[in-house]
Amino acid sequence: MQPLAERIRPKNLDQYIGQQHIIGTGSALRNAIKQNLLPSLIFWGPPGVGKTSLALIIANELQRPFYMLSAINSGVKEVREVIEKASDNNIFNQNKPVLFIDEIHRFSKSQQDSLLGAVEKGVVTLIGATTENPSFEVIPALLSRCQVYVLKSLEENELLTLIQNAIKEDTVLSKKNILIKEHEALIRVSGGDARKLLNALEITINSLQGNDIEITNELVLNVIQQNLALYDKSGEQHYDIISAFIKSIRGSDPNAALYYLARMLRGGEDILFIARRLVILASEDIGNANPNALLLANNCFSAVNVIGNPEARIILSQCVTYLACSPKSNASYMAIDAALAEVDKSGDLPVPLHLRNAPTKLMKNLDYGKDYKYSHAYENNFAEQEFLPEQISSTKFYEPGNNTREAEQRAYLKKLWKEKYGY
């Protein structure tokens, strides 16, 4: 029997749960589907958020032939075979075939190159799915021909809707009398992953006898712990291990971080995937508390790329232990998110006149650049002036962390700006 997640896979956009920011009424993607003007796409998002389902729905809505490859077990040969089939199909069918490639980030450059010609000539409409940033993993020539859509983890209300739909509509579960007395454990173990949620629900229900079933938090946690291997059969453990790895470094535990690093290395994880995560962590979780962390992590990425296995394990170990033992700060991470939130709220505020570029006489006559103070012409290379738009003057985005280096930054900023930013 098919697993629950397959049995209740949505067949059309109305059945699809989540991602309303890209397929909601009036959205660009929904309009493109309605008008049958579908460009090549890349869906970027965490596992279990509906990337494959959305690709299937799009092909179904447009009544297009659908070809699917997984980057894990497909090579250049398989890609060329599918493209040849699609090309033959085009002769007899006016609807351009959809070629869906799951985990496209695992394709090598040569494999992606083998796709490029078919996409350029319009033999297929490509839909790629990836859990990794496509800017890093997809070759520029292919990426430039695709529109990237970011899919988000499902919200609690969406996950609850998924549970209720499964109980009511699934051919197996609908025959049982199922009461969800408590749902928190199901939501927690899912982590916003619909497939994990449905796996957990199905495993829990299958652990009980009879048709009258009551789901509680205690029951779910007990069953999932006992069936952990089964629960992780679809590869979710990959994401749990990297999550534990990052959180161990963030939590300044080098021993736990090394353990999870060893788990990934023994499991055959891509060493560049690990190194890339360390570069991100160095800024997100350490930042200005130890600026050398980013330098070391970036050098680690370069060295691992050049050296390869098995020696890469030593380089990764050095970087992991250094980052785990570094002071921590997420101030830079919080600062840019605060600034982005302000831009979203206030829109494109006018740049103060004295900061504007004035390459023409007309602009100078309009006072562009007038009264700007060149900082290096003043004592200590600083001249007090307004740099933010008037509407958000004195808004503070950067709050230095509680560590030695950022305490120095706080003192420096307070000396310069006094009470302006409240440092």
pLDDT at position 353 is 83
H helices present in 121-216, as ranges = 134-137, 140-143, 156-169, 184-190, 194-206
What are the tens digits of pLDDT across the range 118-152? 888 888 899 999 988 888 788 889 999 999 999 99
Report if pTM > 0.85: no
What are the tens digits of pLDDT across the range 354-399? 888 866 666 666 666 788 888 888 898 998 999 999 899 999 999 9
Q: Is the pLDDT of residue 286 over 50?
A: yes
What is the spatial distance between Cα 90 and Cα 97, in angstroms, rounded to a whole number?
7
Least Cα distance to 146 among 188, 174, 112 occurs for 112
Residue 233 banded pLDDT, cuts 50, 70, 90 = very low
Averaged over 318-329, what is the pLDDT?
A: 96
Give the domains, in start order, of the chain with CATH numbers. 19-150 (3.40.50.300), 156-231 (1.10.8.60), 237-324 (1.20.272.10), 341-417 (1.10.3710)
pLDDT at position 357 is 80
Q: Is the pLDDT of residue 235 over 70?
A: no
What is the spatial distance between Cα 251 and Cα 248, in angstroms, rounded to a whole number?
5
Q: Is the pLDDT of residue 229 over 50?
A: no
Q: Which of 99-113, 115-129, 223-237, 339-353 has the lowest mean pLDDT?
A: 223-237
What is the spatial distance between Cα 361 and Cα 338, in angstroms, rounded to a whole number?
37
Taken as a whole, the chain contains a residue count of 423
What is the spatial distance between Cα 192 and Cα 156, in angstroms, rounded to a whole number?
8
What are the tens digits of pLDDT across the range 104-119? 888 888 888 888 888 8
What are the tens digits of pLDDT across the range 58-96? 999 998 889 998 877 777 788 888 888 877 766 555 678
